[in-house]
Structure 1
Amino acid sequence: MTELKNLEHELDRFRGRLVAAALFVLLCFGLLAARLVWLQVVRHEDLAQQAEDNRIAVVPIVPNRGLILDRNGVVLATNYSAYTLEITPARVSGEIESVIDDLAQVVDIQTRDRRRFKRLADEGKRFESVPIRTKLTDEEVARFTAQRFRFPGVEVRARLFRQYPMGEVGSHLIGYIGRINQAEKKAMEDWDDELQANYRGTEHIGKLGLEQRYERELHGATGFEELETSAGGRAVRRLGSHPATPGNTLVLSIDIRLQALVEQMFGDRRGALVAIDPRNGEVLAFVSKPTFDPNLFVDGIDVENWRELNESVDKPLLNRALRGTYPPGSTFKPFMAIAALTTGKRSAGTIVNDAGSYAFGNHVFRSHGDHGLGPVDMTRSIVKSSNVYYYSLANEMGVDLMHAQLEPFGFGRRTGIDLDGELTGVLPSTEWKRRAYKKPEQQRWYAGETISLGIGQGYNNFTMLQLATATSTLVSGGLRFEPRLVREIRDVVTNEQPVVPRKALDPLPLQASHVALINQAMHGVTREGTSTRIFMGAPYATGGKTGTAQAVSIGKGERYNAARMEERQRDHSLYIAFAPVEAPSIALAVVVENAGFGATAAAPIARRVFDYLLLGQWPNEQDMAATRQGQSVAPMGTPLRAAEVPIAGLAASAPPAEIKAAP
């Protein structure tokens, strides 16, 4: 009986275990079925999309960068396609230097290529491709392709390269593009998502000049293509694409022939020139000398060229038209005169005796050496450039009244030109000095400091852009515009060519009779004044004012003697001018550093600018050589036809643009 009970007990335990096992198996199958339902039904669309994403790679298509043209359609910045040899450090097996050594047996790799690669690799991330050679020949591409299996992580890519056909001409205003550095990548993180997406795949960005200022217009819209990829990540076939939209085209107000002419006339000298149309604020020439070749920066400039540019005593990378500040010298006198008329401090007929010096306190301010000009009125003070007249006028007006009257002309503030990095210059006032200095004794304004301001010396320091803008405002009777380099932005998709709106500022309330007096006085400078010899024989009427500005201070009691001074310590040569007198369409300011008297170096350049714009003339070889050396007056010999003079880099010869009246 006991055995039967034990058997029944064992059978019950077995049946219980069997039921438990069955329930466990059913539970497992239930869980598996539930998981399958979750994956196949609930998350079907999501997982299908993930699988598709793993199979499909979305590759950005970088757009063609927009062109930059001058006012006549001459191409100043364009693109061309070339092959580059690139290394992705994270995918390279072994030492990169060893890989580069092996690559050098296949394609030509110079020391400068290695240095550039190292610098770019240090700035980037290991999974980013870095060029070791650019602009490969077809033969080099074929040689590498045949041995590609030896170099994992190395590949040939077709890239678009920026090109500046004019080379050094206009380099400061056009600027250049360069590879995006880490600081710029970090700044991009603050951009909105749409803008960041538009720069995926982009490796270069505008670094200077118009390339930088109009970056987003020139960049275009990034496209994409969908590629089916293998498990190893290699593209199998293209599934679809959305083409990139090229960047818009910038059409400048600049006449590149005029730009090239001015740069040639400077020769090896340093300086700047800005020419503006007073009727609308369009900039016709924007020159800074010396220049540089922006093509050097496209691939990443090598150490030797960078050191040569960056360490040069001539500072070729300095945009002197935008960031170089100079005392205006006697070119300041017409502005002092209009301020005197406007405030009633002096009338046009007020006579001041110029005895050659002006005493204030214990200091004697000299004018024209030891002899004076005798009695001078306002017109004669400008024509003959009397210092004594403006020493006394400055004393009568005071620094704060001068500041209040002249600041609206654009002195001491940014003009608003469409370039980044403009300096304000200095138009002093008592408030300015309190802000500029820390020590109480330095913050105080002394009456004697006002005197030299009247002739454009002392604390006065302005850019040629400011001086040209102020001249434009004065001769136009008070019309004010923010100067503009870009005339049109052409949409490459719609082919629309909207004119960039000119920002007109409130005009200055100048009396027409006052403006006419100043303009005629400046015209007198070219007929019987300091620039008479330069404008002799000109078939048009022009006005101007020479200026000579100190580069260094002269000790008390010492006389200026250029022959005894180092070249870089000599006075700067300045000239402001406009033409024609009856209806000004050009106003300019020019400085030639350390070149002495304004009529010697600066005014001859202005004369030839007017001859080009108004007469379509170009200096002959002899006249050009004399102008470069600061030894010219009126043009000598027979001038050339500007339209027929070949300029390196011009795609096609084009006649000078006729300066038409603003609509």
Structure 2
Amino acid sequence: MGAWFEIKDHFQENRLFQERIIVALVLSAFLVLGVLARLIYLQVYAHEHFTMLSHGNRVDIRPLLPRRGLIYDRNGVLLAENIPSFSLEVVPERVGNLDSTLAALQELIPLRDEAMADFRRRLKKKGTFEKVPLALHLSEEAVARFAVNRHRFPGVSVEARLIRYYPQKELFAHVVGYVGRINEAELQRLDPVNYRGSRYLGKTGVEKAYEAILHGSVGFEQVEVNAQGRVIQILRRMPPVPGHDLYLSLDSRLQAVAIDALGEYNGAVVALDPKTGDVLAMVSRPGFDPNVFVTGLSDKSFAALRDSPDRPLYDRALRGLYPPGSTLKPFMALAGLEWGLARTDKVTYCPGWYKLPGHSRRYRCWRRRGHGSVDLAKAVAESCDVYFYDLAVALGIDRIYAYLGRFGFGRKVQIDIPGERAGLLPSRDWKRQVHQLPWFPGETVITGIGQGFIQATPLQLATIVAVLAEQGVKRAPGVVYASRAPGAEKITLRPTRAAELVSINKAKYWEQVEAAMVEAVHGERGTARRISKDLSFQIAGKTGTAQVFSVKENERYTEAEVPMKLRDHALFIAYAPVADPVIAVAVVVENGGHGGSVAAPIGRRLIDVYLDS
């Protein structure tokens, strides 16, 4: 059998080989061109971007917190300032073993369990590259102890920061308010740029209302750091802009006098300048030390404040609701004059009780033997209940509601700090909506003496009596009267508050009611006569007593037999001097008993101190 021979085509093989080489060279050329194009892009077009990324491994951008604006009273007394404080802070990504580091720190610097729990919570909300505070308000001893051992704790540092401090403590706690740590809900609505690195936010009072101008604007610095995170040099810096300083219309001396005058009683005192609406004093007792809220307080301590039967966290001046009692009578007298149902020469007989026509129930006067024949001036000065029972029935609840609403009863006074309540001015519609019941005639009777459903805050009473002082000019009260921008030498006054006019038919009605209120203080039988001793000027005032519980028709109220918490509230409203009023006051003393003996002397002390100054 013949053998097979393979015949090779060397020319064809050589040609195929050359083609493959050409294809490989073309592909290589394209790859080289692609690499060159990428190099050109990275080195030329994207140079700045990747330079920044590379610097990011050794450059850190840190926020610079602005100095929070200071708060002063009208005389330049400091009410809120910033003091230095040291805090222990951790950057998680720079810590090798977080748990062992925390355990070692615990041995070095004793940390409360609550502080550790707070740290764990904050750790979940922040990035691993951000500083998370572990302990605040470190003592000098703790700072020194850590400094000696700092080499053992990479990623942990002691930072010096400014924290808020309130030198007057409880004296201005409710009105100035306080700052506290920013919570998660607040974080969602805040500007993430301007609040980067910020830990505190105004929570109540002036601190909350004026947060935008007190906070300032955050700055930043670009720093070069080493592998341990220590700053080598500052590359770029944009300084923060401090917040504005605020000046309040409040007077520290009046505040202190009001607190002292209340003594052991709980209550509220508000004083205004009736010509401007500036709040001169606004006290709620008991108070609290706002400093404990700045760095945080334990759950146990907060529970003690929250659950205290005296309710120190409750702002009675702004939110406390009290029946106005007989302090309502001057306004009822004005309503009667307006509607022609009361005249200065019209007399009503007071036997010590009042009965609605066709009813047997007797509504008692506070003076059980009665006042006898009383006109409008005597009814206000001696606070005759029967006179105002009769006037209220003649007016009817619809006219009472309409008229008192013009002065501001049942409405917020629109003060420039948050939290105020509107009080309650009852009407037929209100009762039908809330209680699903009709309005009863007896409810009109007791409304005439400021009892029943009607309620007002001490701030409302002060604002409303200021309307009497200015004969119908009503201004919204305010506590901030000026501010000062960072670096400015002069202060900027806040805009003048708009005024409303409460018009009446005849101007003489103002004078007639004012004369009756002057008689209440300076008359022989006026309910506030005991404060008129040694007065060199005239005060127009009205006392009030507000029941805490109802007394049955044939029962007697004997104060000595009633528990303290169930005794009547004592009230007093006034303005002075009558010739040219510069101060209007409202005093509410919880369970104080009698407005003339307890609340009126407090009002007199405030007026004396303010006029003497």
Taking structure 1 as the reference length, the TM-score comes to 0.87
Q: Please tell me the residue identity of whatever aligns with 2:61.
A: V
Aligned residues: 602
Amino acid at match of 1:462: A
- Distance across 2 between alignment mates of 1:86 and 1:205: 20
Which of 342, 367, 370 is the equivalent residue of 2:368? 370
2-structure distance, mates of 1:522, 1:546: 9
Using the TM superposition, give the Cα deviation of residue 52 of structure 1 relative to its aligned residue in structure 2, in angstroms.
4.7
Q: Helix, strand or coil for the counterpart of 1:286?
A: strand
Deviation at 1:249, TM superposition (A): 0.7
1:176 corresponds to: 178
Match of 2:444 among 450, 456, 461: 450
- Residue 414 of structure 1 aligns to a residue in which SS? coil
State whether structure 2 residue 355 is matched by structure 1 residue 330: no
Residue 85 of structure 1 pairs with residue 96 of structure 2? no
Is the partner of 1:59 in helix, strand or coil? strand
- Corresponding residue SS for 1:169: helix
Taking structure 1 as reference, are residues 90 and 12 closer, same or farther at Cα in structure 2, changes over 3 Å only? closer
Quote the Cα distance in structure 1 between the aligned partners of 2:475 and 2:577: 19
Aligned partners of 2:95 and 2:432: how far apart in 1? Answer: 61
Q: 1:8 aligns with which of 6, 11, 16?
A: 11
Bigger mean CA deviation after superposition, 367-376 or 504-513: 504-513
Greater displacement, 305-314 / 66-75: 305-314
CA 1:133–1:50: 2 relative to 1, 3 Å? closer
1:74 deviates by 0.3
TM-score by length of 2: 0.94
Match for 1:398 among 391, 396, 399? 396
Unaligned runs of 5+ in 1: 189-194, 616-655, 657-663
After TM superposition, give the deviation of residue 138 of structure 1 in Å.
3.5
Shift of 1:72: 0.3
Q: Which residue of structure 2 aligns with residue 30 of structure 1?
A: 33
Tell me which amino acid in the other structure corresponds to 2:13.
E
- Asked if the contact 2:154–2:228 (Cα under 8 Å) also holds between the matched residues in 1, the reply is no
Contact 1:283 1:485 in 2 (8 A): yes
Aligned pair in 2 of structure 1 residues 184, 346: CA closer, same or farther (>3 Å)?
same
Tell me how far apart the structure 1 counterparts of residues 566 and 134 of structure 2 sit (CA, whole Å): 45
**Does the alignment pair 1:516 with 2:511?**
yes
Per-residue Cα deviation, 1:193-218 (whole angstroms, up to 9, x for no partner): xx432211111000111001100111
Task: Determine whether 1:606 maps to 2:603.
Answer: yes
Q: Say whether the 8 Å CA contact 2:329–2:388 is kept in structure 1.
A: yes
Residues 205-243 of structure 1: CA deviation (Å, up to 9, x unaligned): 001110011001110111111112446655331012111
**Rg larger for:** 2
Name the SS of the counterpart of 2:586 in structure 1: strand
- In structure 2, the residue matched to 1:621 is none
**Map of 2:422 onto structure 1:** 424
What's the CA shift for 1:446?
1.6
Residue type at the aligned position of 1:311: D
Distance in 1 between residues matched to 2:223 and 2:164, nearest whole Å: 28
2:304 aligned with 1:301: no
Q: Deviations over 1:221-272 (max 9, x none)?
A: 1111111244665533101211111110110000011101111222232100
- Asked if structure 1 preserves the Cα contact closer than 8 Å seen for 2:363 and 2:553, the reply is no
TM-fit CA distance, 1:485: 0.2
Once the two structures are overlaid, the 10-residue window that deviates more, 297-306 or 162-171, is: 297-306
What is aligned with 2:136? 134
Deviations 1:8-36 (A, max 9, x none): 23322322222222122112112112222
Higher deviation after alignment, 475-484 or 80-89: 80-89
Q: Distance in 1 between matches of 2:409 and 2:267?
A: 19
3-state SS of the aligned residue for 2:235? strand
Matched, 1:566 2:568: no
Residues 331, 44 of structure 1: CA spacing in aligned structure 2 closer, same or farther, 3 A cutoff? same
Alpha-carbon distance in 1 for matches of 2:532, 2:224: 72
Letter in 1 for 2:380: I
Change (3 A) 1:421 1:346: same
Confirm or deny: 8 A CA contact 1:274 1:589 kept in the other structure.
Answer: yes
CA contact (8 A) 1:327 1:457 kept: yes
Q: Distance in 2 between matches of 1:583 and 1:266?
A: 27
Residue in 2 aligned with 1:56? 59
Distance 2:576 2:270 in 1: 14
State the partner residue of 2:464.
Answer: 470
**Matched letter for residue 39 of structure 1:** L
Q: 1:472 to 1:117 in 2, by over 3 A?
A: farther
Q: One-letter code of the match for 1:587?
A: A
**C-alpha deviations, 1:557-580, integer Å up to 9, x for none?**
322222222211111010111110
Superposition deviation, residue 120 in structure 1: 5.4
- The CA deviation string for residues 581-634 of structure 1, in whole angstroms up to 9 with x for no partner, is 11111111001101101112111111111111112xxxxxxxxxxxxxxxxxxx
Query: Is there any run of 5+ residues in structure 2 with no aligned partner, and where?
Result: none
Q: 1:198 aligns with which of 194, 200, 204?
A: 194
Q: CA deviation at 1:114?
A: 2.8
The CA distance in 2 between the partners of 1:343 and 1:129, in whole Å, is: 69
SS in 2 for 1:155: strand
Identity over aligned residues, as a percent?
41
Task: Point out the more displaced range, 209-218 or 113-122.
Answer: 113-122
| Structure-1 residue corresponding to 2:499 | 505
Asked if the contact 1:482/1:502 (under 8 Å) is kept, the reply is no
Change (3 A) 1:120 1:205: farther
**Partner SS for 2:459:** helix
Match of 1:116 in 2: 115
1:581-620 matched pairs, under 5 angstroms: 581-615=578-612
Partners of 2:92 and 2:224 in 1: how far apart? Answer: 25
- Return the offset for 1:352: 0.7
Q: Quote the residue 1:107 is aligned against.
A: 109
In 2, Cα distance between equivalents of 1:294 and 1:370: 47
**Alignment correspondent of 1:226:** 222
Output the amino acid matched with 1:434: R
Aligned mates of 2:322, 2:91 — CA distance in 1: 49
Q: Does residue 1:148 correspond to 2:160, yes or no? A: no
**Secondary structure at the residue paired with 1:340?**
helix
**Secondary structure in structure 1 of the residue aligned to 2:536:** coil
Letter in 2 for 1:514: Y
Q: Identify the residue that residue 288 of structure 1 maps to in structure 2.
A: 284
Specify whether residues 119 and 107 from structure 1 end up closer, same or farther in structure 2 by C-alpha distance, changes over 3 A only: closer
Once the two structures are superposed, residues 267-305 of structure 1 have per-residue CA deviations (whole angstroms, 9 ceiling, x without a partner) of 232100110011110000000000000011110122232
1:56 touches 1:226 (CA, 8 Å); kept in 2? yes
Q: Does the alignment pair 1:356 with 2:355?
A: no
Match of 2:87, SS state, is strand
Shift of 1:515: 1.1
- Aligned residue in 1 for 2:385: 387
Match of 2:528 in 1: 531
Structure 1 residues 325, 120: CA separation in 2 closer, same or farther (over 3 Å shift)?
farther
For the aligned residue pairs, the C-alpha RMSD in angstroms reads: 2.1
1:515-539 superposed Cα distances (whole Å, 9 cap, x missing partner) = 1111111111112211111221122
User: Who is 1:76 aligned against?
Assistant: 79
Distance change >3 Å, CA 99–CA 39, structure 1 → 2: closer
Q: Does structure 2 conserve the Cα–Cα contact (< 8 Å) formed by 1:88 and 1:126?
A: no
Query: What is the deviation of 1:55?
Result: 4.8
**Compared with structure 1, are the counterparts of its residues 54 and 344 closer, same or farther at alpha carbon in structure 2 (3 Å cutoff)?**
farther
- Out of 180, 183, 187, the position equivalent to 2:189 is 187
Asked whether the equivalents of residues 414 and 476 of structure 2 are also in contact (C-alpha less than 8 Å), the reply is: yes
Which residue is 1:495 aligned to?
489
Native 8 Å contact 2:278 2:477 kept in 1: yes
- Deviation at 1:49? 4.4
Is the CA contact (8 Å cut-off) linking 2:74 and 2:248 kept in structure 1?
A: yes
Q: How far apart are the structure 1 equivalents of 2:211 and 2:136? A: 23
